[in-house]
Structure formats: C-alpha cells, structure tokens
Amino acid sequence: MIPTTSVASHRSVVLVGLACTTLLLAVLSPSSTEAFAPSAHRYSPNQAVPYSGSLVLPRARGLAMGNPQNSALHMQTPWSKAGANKRKPRPTMVSPIQMSDAAIESNDDESDSKKKGFLQKIKSIVPPQEERQKLVPLALMFFCILFNYTILRDTKDVLMVTAPKSGAEVIPFIKTYCNLPVAIGFTGVYAKMTDSMELKNVFYACVIPFLIFFASFAFFIYPNRAILHPHALVDVLAARLPANFAAPLAIVRNWSFAVFYVMAEMWGSVVASLLFWSLANQITTVEEAKKYYPLFGLGANVALIFSGQYVKFVSNMRASLAPGVDAWAVSLNYLMGAVVASGGVLLATYKYIQDNVVAKSEAMKALKKYPSKKKPKMTLKESAKFLFSSPYIRDLALLVISYGMCINIVEVSWKAKLKQAFPDPNSYSAFMGNFSSATGAATLIMMLLGRSIFQKFGWRTAALVTPTMIGVTGLGFFATNVFSGAMSPVAALLGTTPLMLAVLLGAAQNILSKSSKYSLFDPCKEMAYIPLDQESKTKGKAAIDVVGNPLGKSGGALIQQVLIFGVGSLAAATPYLAVILAGLVFMWVRAANSLAGQFNTAMSADGVSE
C-alpha cells in the first residue's frame, strides 16, 4: 500500500510537469519557432524562415545554419507532420533590433570578404617564401653594388675630366690603352681562379682588393698626389711632342687618377656584370628569372637615387669648410668611406646567401645531381676560340660590344660639354649626383614597365628596346650639336644658353639610354646565359662581360681617337660620329634578332616556353 503523502507527492510532480509542459508548448508555438525552422536555403542567424514543423535549437549567433535534420539537437514538436498541415502559420514579425542585427551581420560579412579579397591580391603579388629568400638578398646585393658604382662612376669622371691639363678627350685613350689591357688580363686571372678555387671564394678574392684600393686612394694616394704625379717630367715631354699627344700625356701626368678610373670601370664589369649575375644565374631558375630579373634592379636603382643625392650632399659640403681646406679631398674621404661601408654590407649579404640559399637552391641541386663533365683546361686564346665559334655566344658578345661602343660615342661628346659648363670639381660632382638620381628614378619606372614587356611581348621585344632608345636619343643629341646655331633661339626662349641646353639634352639622352639598359638590356643578357652549359656560362660570361664590355667602349674610343687626329676635335667629328652610331645600332638590332631565335630554340629544347 502506497502512502497517501507519497501519492500526493507524485500527483504534485505530475501536475507541475503538465503545467511546465503546457507553458513550454505555449512558448514553443508555431509563431515562436518559425525563426528556427529548417529550410532548403541558408539564412542568417536572425532571419525569419517559413515553418516546417520541426524544431531546431538555435546555434551560436553569427554562424551560418545548416540542415537541422543532421543535428543531434533536432526534435519533433507535438504538432509536427499532421499538425503542421492543419495549423496555418502566422506571419512572422521581425523586430527593429533583429533587423539592425541582421544589417550588422551583413556588413560584417561584406567587409570580411573585401579583406579576404585584398589579402589574396597582396598574396598573389608577394613572392613565396622560398623565392623571397633569393630575391631580397640579391636585391640588397645589387643595391650595394650599384650604390658603389654610381659613386665611383661620378668620381672617376670628376678626377680625370677636371684634372690639371686634362679633359674629356683623355677618356677614349684611357679606355683603349688602360682599361682594355687590364680587362683582358683580369679575364685570364679569373679563368685560373675558377679552375683552382671554389666559386664562393672567387667572389671574396675579387671584391676585397677593390675595397682596399678605394680606401687607400682616398686616405693616402690623393693627399700625396703632388709627390706621386710627375708634372715636371710631363711638362718637358709636352714641350717636345706634337700637340696631338696632349691627351696621352695627361694620363701620364695624372696616373693615379687614371688607375682610379680603370678600377672604377672594372668594378662595374667585374662585380656588377660578372660576379653578381653569375651568382644570380647559379641559384635562379628560368621561370624565376623571367619574373624577378627585371625587379632585381629596383633595389639597385633606388641605390642610384640615394647615391646620387649622397654625392650631391658631399659635394656641397665645401660651403661649410674653412678657407684653405681642400674641399674635394674632404668630399673624396666621405665618398670612399661610403664605398667601403657598402662593400662590407655586400660581403655580409653574399655570405648569408652562401650559407642559407645556395645549398637549398633547386638549380644547385640539379647541378649537383647532373654534374658537367670535367673538360681539359684551356688557355685564354683557346677559350676565346671555343666561345666565339658559337653563333649564340658571338651574337651575345655583339650585343655587349654594340652597347659599349654606342654609349661611349655619345657619352664622351656630352662630357666634353659638361666640363665647359662645370669646370669646378665639386660643381661637376654635384651635377653628376643629380644626374644619377634622375637616372635611378627613370630606371625605376622602366623596371615596372620592363616586367610587363617581358611577360606580354617576350625576350625579343625587350632586347630591341635599348638599341632603339639609344639610336633615337643619340642621333637627336648629335643633331643639336651639329645645328647649334639654330638652337640659339630655342635656348633663349627657355631662358638658358646653347651650352647648357646641350648639357641638359645630353643628360636626358644618357638617362633614357641607361634606364632602358638597366631595366631591359641587362636582364635580357643575363637570361640568355641560362640555357648554356656550366663551362660556357662561367668562361663565356667572363669573356663577354669583362672583355666584351671594355672592348665595346674601347672600340668607340678608338673611333673617336682616329676622328680627333683626323679632324682636330670632338666637336668637328660630331657628324661622322652620328653616322657611325646609326650603323652600330643597325648591327645591334640584327644581332638581337638572331639571338632571339636561338634563345627561343634553346628554351624549347629544355621544355620551357619564352
């Protein structure tokens, strides 16, 4: 027998349970559950949907709702199925708070999608990590190399052109009788170094002597130039020799400046053209080269802007110096100090690449997996015969030689005008600083265009831009010199002199030519080495870059020497130089077209399209 109290308790529990159930059913009436009913479509968490007779507990706010039939929280209400067909759902009223929440959620979703789209665009532009490990250090190296080269290039011109009893006429003689023999000798030394040393040690063996010399020149050689330069001896020789020997005698008179000039030229040929691009070709694949070779120069041409302004700043320091102080000597100390510091950063970056990039490079892995057969060592003469017997190497050499001849023919004439406008070394140097900065800015723009040119038009079009640019602007500059009388009204209209107008037009010609060279010609040339075997890459590059470039400049210098002896001056030789420039550009274009066909064939053989 069950106790009465127990029965009462049980009845109370049942009554309470029925009351709670009734209350729950009232709360969970169809009008209250419509917001949580399932549908074939997805709705936002606060959006009302048609009632289907099923009850789904709401998920966390902000999550998209899925199919409630797959949810463990799904349950049937007492009026589901049959009851749902009898009862007509009432229209759902959405509160203003619910509408504002839905609007906020919609705006949040739109902003999130925009952020994701923007991040995806940035991600598509930024190279992947394994490529950034190559691109960033290489760009930094090129920055340091071009920073130094800009300072050295501007300084060497100031030293020789403004030296006692010297001028722009000495430049052709230095390039022919000083620079070319040194370049040929270095090629032989470099070939032996590559045979007897590891490639990573060759870089150190080449760069460190340059830095030692430039530091010694600023702090020891230049301050003692009066003792080192044989002015008395050269004065005696000048009195006994014809006037046509004035330029060679100026080289002897200022021999330390001539050595600096050669070393500055060799920095561009050896460090910039040979060592850097050898490293880049060593660790870069063809596809990476197409994407990033034009961009390597971005850092380099930022260096042109910085170094140009640094040269200008240092050159203008003379205004704050005490009377009697050699302003150019002080400027030289600051300039060479910057060169040595930048060289230290260059060496440190190279060491980082050797330690962290070279070993992981896919190109190096392939080289180790399929090593080239060891061939017998060749002399310099045999190497030249072997390399120039190849049409591919020969056309590539013609490109480099043609550029050297063309730029030298135009540049020397411009520098002759430049000395007339700026006879003071610091004024000359300040102008060259602005010139270098303008070259860097123009090259940055050309770099951005260069990537599109490579990708849309290919190697051939990119290779033809530079000769076209030099031909058009060079002939325009010579035309202003030949018809200088007709330019006087134009100069007066612009508020300047015919001399300054010629200087500015020559500067514009050099800026456009060099910007196209740095942004398109150099990447084209370096990409052309990639299909070659390892021996042709190493020795062929040394022969072309170290000898071909000086040979081109020396060839242009030799032409100018012949014309100077024949007609008496550079100004009188201008019409002949214009005709020769046109012929060289024509030869350059033919070689570029020939090499483009061979390059595409080599790429197709390797299974890579242009």
87 vs 137, residue with greater confidence: 137
Q: Give the pLDDT score at 369.
A: 46
Q: How does pLDDT run across 4-51, given as a tens digit for each residue? A: 444 444 444 444 454 544 443 443 444 444 433 433 344 444 444 443
**97 within a domain of the structure (yes/no):** no
**22 within a domain of the structure (yes/no):** no
**Which pLDDT band holds residue 218 (cuts at 50, 70, 90)?**
very high
Q: How does pLDDT run across 462-484, given as a tens digit for each residue? A: 999 999 999 999 998 888 888 87
Q: Give the pLDDT score at 301.
A: 72
Range of the domain at 318: 127-369+378-605
Question: Domain count of the chain?
Answer: 1
- Confidence check: pLDDT of 246 > 90: no
Which H/E stretch holds residue 206?
A: helix 199-216
- Confidence check: pLDDT of 250 > 60: yes
**458 within a domain of the structure (yes/no):** yes
- Confidence check: pLDDT of 162 > 50: yes
Contact 480, 502 (CB under 8 A): yes
CB burial of 3-18 (b: ≥16 within 10 Å; e: otherwise) equals eeeeeeeeeeeeeeee
**341 within a domain of the structure (yes/no):** yes
CB burial of 374-405 (b: ≥16 within 10 Å; e: otherwise) equals eeeebebeebbebbeeeebbebbbbbbbbbbb
pLDDT averaged over every residue in the chain:
76
The length of the chain is 610
CATH number at residue 329: 1.20.1250.20
Q: Give the pLDDT score at 593.
A: 92
**Which pLDDT band holds residue 135 (cuts at 50, 70, 90)?**
confident
**429 within a domain of the structure (yes/no):** yes
Q: How does pLDDT run across 507-516, given as a tens digit for each residue? A: 999 999 988 8
Q: Which two tokens stand for residue 7?
A: 């029965």
Say how far apart CA 554 and CA 571 lie, in whole Å.
Answer: 19
Query: 302, 258, 268, 259: which is closest to 148 by C-alpha?
Result: 268
**96 within a domain of the structure (yes/no):** no
**14 within a domain of the structure (yes/no):** no
Q: Give the pLDDT score at 65.
A: 39
Report the pLDDT averaged over residues 179-187. Answer: 87
Report the pLDDT averaged over residues 378-393. Answer: 67
**What is the DSSP track for 379-406?**
-HHHHHHHHHTSHHHHHHHHHHHHHHHH
Q: Which amino acid is at 188?
A: G
Query: 253, 257, 178, 263: which is closest to 213 by C-alpha?
Result: 263
Q: Give the pLDDT score at 139.
A: 85
Say how far apart CA 376 and CA 407 lie, in whole Å.
Answer: 38
Which positions ≥6 away from 20 have C-beta within 8 Å?
none
Q: How does pLDDT run across 87-102, given as a tens digit for each residue? A: 555 555 545 445 455 5
Q: Which amino acid is at 579?
A: V
Q: Which two tokens stand for residue 424?
A: 């003071």
Query: 509, 240, 541, 559: which is closest to 402 by C-alpha?
Result: 559
213 vs 291, residue with greater confidence: 213
- Confidence check: pLDDT of 56 > 50: no
Q: Give the pLDDT score at 234.
A: 92
Rg (Cα) of the chain, in Å, rounded? 38
**Which pLDDT band holds residue 195 (cuts at 50, 70, 90)?**
confident
- Confidence check: pLDDT of 589 > 70: yes
- Confidence check: pLDDT of 334 > 50: yes
572 vs 87, residue with greater confidence: 572
**6 within a domain of the structure (yes/no):** no
Q: Give the pLDDT score at 533.
A: 77
290 vs 274, residue with greater confidence: 274
249 vs 15, residue with greater confidence: 249
Contact 67, 82 (CB under 8 A): no
**What is the DSSP track for 162-190?**
TSTT--TTHHHHHIIIIIHHHHHHHHHHH
391 vs 243, residue with greater confidence: 391
Say how far apart CA 500 and CA 415 lie, in whole Å.
Answer: 12
**Which pLDDT band holds residue 336 (cuts at 50, 70, 90)?**
very high
Q: Give the pLDDT score at 360.
A: 66
Contact 317, 334 (CB under 8 A): yes
